[in-house]
Amino acid sequence: MNSNRRVFLFVVYAVSAYLFFSLVSYAFGLHWRPFDRVNLIADVVTGDSTFLADGPGSDTTGGSQPIIIEERPQQDFLLYHTPHYITGFQTDTSLASLPHLMAKLYALKNGQQQKIRIAYFGDSMIENDLLTQTFRKRLQEYFGGQGVGFVNINFVGHKLRQTIEHDYSNGWKDDNLRNASDKSTLYLSGHRFTTSGDWVSVTDKTITDSTYVTEKILLCGKTEAPVTIRVNGQPVSINADKSFNRIVLASDISRKLRLDVDDSRLPLYGVSFEPLSGVIVDNFSFRGSRGDEYKSLDSNFLQTIAQENPYDLIIFQYGVNVLFRANDKNFTWYARMLMPVVERFRSSFPKADFLITGTADRAFRYPDGYATAVGIDTLLKIQATTAYETGSYFYNLYSTMGGKNSIVDWANRKPSLANKDYVHPNHQGAEILGNWFFEDLLREFEKYSRRQQKGDTPK
């Protein structure tokens, strides 16, 4: 066989195999990000507004119904387009969304002492407390409370975070959503830390009252026997007998906490600075995440977190990492992957309201210059439908930013509100988003308050 024929057959076999795996990945919803970028049929199979996808595949949450996303002309569903609006897709828009959260905020505002916890999940859009630091500050100023909430043992860009002073030694082992062989008991941050001789120091910079008492709390996993660590130089015995443990280390006016750990049996998740009563907003950012990575967390572990450290509102803000190719319009694979994650969190935290924040605007370079990703409307519809199908709430961040080409406008303003990557709002832009989100949530609270004051409580 001459060399030309061998080359020809090699190309034919390689392309045939490549096409086969492309078809299989599309048919069964299998995704590996490097392969997704070069899938042979990705630009041939375009997304449309109607599809019937298989169920959640390998997910073990018990979900068995197929995921259906179709044209929904109902006026209540179309509310997802509305900027500056948190919708539960209810026909009566005078009813407040997030009723569980609103009831607790109403009680807190009227003098009832309690903690209200909000978990805000996202990618690099909220890294280093962007957006959440403003949202937290406004909530605490209006409803009460001080304290930065959750802080990871270490994280990318920790020196850039404005709400804390954070330092640590370099020997910590970080198991996370990217590298861990066992992801079942990673924390909501996507991390789990161990060490046999390292330290971490955190100072909360959000506290404005020097006499304000906060609880300093250790969040950790299970050990078979008590472990001794040093807290601000003093030995403390940690009895961590549950899969997730919340251990109060101090309740005082100090803003600083230092931990020295020399026993690798103790899995650590982080620390939390919390008011005795008031609002807590935890930032759970994980760079590059699409949200579907949390499918690996064990349901029983999540339920233990819900018992020990309950949340009243859980927010998922993802999307820009789903839009990783300029011409993608088909995101049915993402619907199949996101739905079981939302269902798992909804079942594990049954008392919490759940809010899906639709993707922010992001732009790519097209022949006529930078412009909004062509598939963004399709992705937003999928995210809204996921909220609709799971009984969750929805907030359209894209529309709130200004819609088409808003990220381009933000980046080109003087002074700018976004970076020239046309993906990430900068500190000024994130502050605007945080203020808007608080004000939009406050409108729902005012709806709830008016009904309570009238004695008109919806059934």
What confidence score (pLDDT) does residue 91 get? 85
What pLDDT score was predicted for residue 279? 98
Q: What is the pLDDT of residue 56?
A: 29
Same-domain pairing of 344 and 418? yes
Q: Is 426 helix (H, G, I), strand (E, B) or coil?
A: coil
Separation between Cα atoms, residue 371 and residue 361, nearest integer Å: 10
Q: How confident is the model at residue 75 (pLDDT cuts 50, 70, 90)?
A: confident
394 in the same domain as 285: yes
Q: Do 133 and 169 share a structural domain?
A: no
Separation of alpha carbons 39 and 18, rounded Å:
8
Contact 370, 332 (CB under 8 A): no
Helix-strand-coil percent breakdown of the chain, rounded to 5?
35, 25, 40
Residue 12: band (very low, low, confident or very high) from pLDDT cuts 50, 70, 90: low
pLDDT of residue 42: 42
User: Residues 6 or more apart from 370 whose CB is under 8 A from it?
Assistant: 363, 364, 408, 422
Residue 54 has pLDDT above 60, yes or no: no
- Comparing 2-6, 327-331, 416-420, 433-437, the range with the smallest average pLDDT is 2-6
Structure tokens at 98: 């997030």
pLDDT given at position 95: 94
Q: pLDDT category, 74, cuts 50, 70, 90?
A: confident
Across the range 186-209, mean pLDDT stands at: 97
pLDDT in tens, 431-444: 999 999 999 999 99
Q: Is residue 356 part of a domain?
A: yes
Domain shared by 245 and 314, yes or no: no
Joined together, the tokens standing for residue 194 give 């161990």
Are 246 and 375 part of one and the same domain?
A: no
Helices (runs of H) and strands (runs of E) counted in the chain: 10, 21
Burial zone of 448 (CB within 10 Å; 0-12 exposed, 13-18 middle, 19+ buried): buried
CA 91 – CA 88 distance, rounded (Å): 9
Within-domain flag for 33: no
Q: Is the pLDDT of residue 41 over 70?
A: no
pLDDT value for 377:
97
What residues contact residue 450 under an 8 Å CB cut-off, 6+ apart? none
Mean pLDDT of the chain: 88
CB 292 within 8 A of CB 343: no
Residue 257 in this model has a pLDDT that exceeds 60: yes
Average pLDDT over every residue of 2-9: 62
Phi, psi of 162 (to 5 degrees): -85, -15
pLDDT at residue number 49: 32
pLDDT tens for each residue of 124-176: 999 999 999 999 999 999 999 999 999 999 987 778 899 999 999 999 999 99
Q: Are residues 367 and 439 in the same domain?
A: yes
If pLDDT is split at 50, 70 and 90, which confidence band does 23 have?
A: low
Q: Pick from 242, 276, 310: which residue ends a domain?
A: 276
Share of the chain above pLDDT 70, in %: 83
d(C-alpha 433, C-alpha 40), whole Å: 38
| pLDDT value at 60 more than 70 | no
Q: Select from 259, 276, 293 the last residue of a domain.
A: 276
CA atoms of 186 and 171, how far apart (whole Å):
19
In the prediction, which pLDDT does 27 show? 43
Handedness of CA 58, 77, 89, 393 (dihedral sign): positive
Both 374 and 385 in one domain: the answer is: yes
Q: Which amino acid is it at 33?
A: R
Question: What Å distances lie between residue 2 and 6, 9, 10, 103, CA to CA?
Answer: 7, 11, 13, 79
317 and 437 housed in the same domain: yes
For residues 243 and 311, membership in a common domain is answered with no
User: Could you tell me how many residues make up the chain?
Assistant: 459
**CATH code (residue 269):** 2.60.120.1360
Q: Which residues of 298-313 are buried (b: 16+ CB within 10 A; e: fewer)?
A: beebbbbbbeebebbb
Same domain, 396 and 452: yes
Q: Is 284 exposed, middle or buried (0-12, 13-18, 19+ CB in 10 A)?
A: buried
Question: What CATH number is given to the structural domain containing 355?
Answer: 3.40.50.1110
Whether residue 244 is contained in a domain is answered as yes
Say what the pLDDT of residue 52 is: 27
CB 173 within 8 A of CB 265: no
pLDDT (0 to 100) of residue 53 = 30
Q: What is the pTM of this model?
A: 0.85
pLDDT of the residue at 386: 96
Q: Does residue 24 lie within any of the structural domains?
A: no
Q: Do residues 102 and 167 share a domain? A: no
State the Cα–Cα distance between residues 389 and 393, nearest whole angstrom: 10
Say if residue 61's pLDDT is above 60: no
User: From CA 354, how far away is CA 394, in angstroms rounded?
Assistant: 9
Of the candidates 271, 180, 182, the residue with the CA atom closest to the CA atom of residue 232: 271
Which tens digits make up the pLDDT trace of 374-385?
999 999 999 999
pLDDT, position 15: 60
Q: Total structural domains in the chain?
A: 2
CA-to-CA distance for 426 and 433, rounded, in angstroms? 10
Domain-located, residue 16 = no
pLDDT digits (tens, 9 = 90+) for 327-375: 999 999 999 999 999 999 999 999 999 999 999 999 999 999 999 999 9
User: What per-residue confidence (pLDDT) applies to 271?
Assistant: 98
Query: Domain range holding 202?
Result: 146-276
Given this model, what pLDDT does residue 159 score?
A: 80
Higher pLDDT, 53 or 91: 91
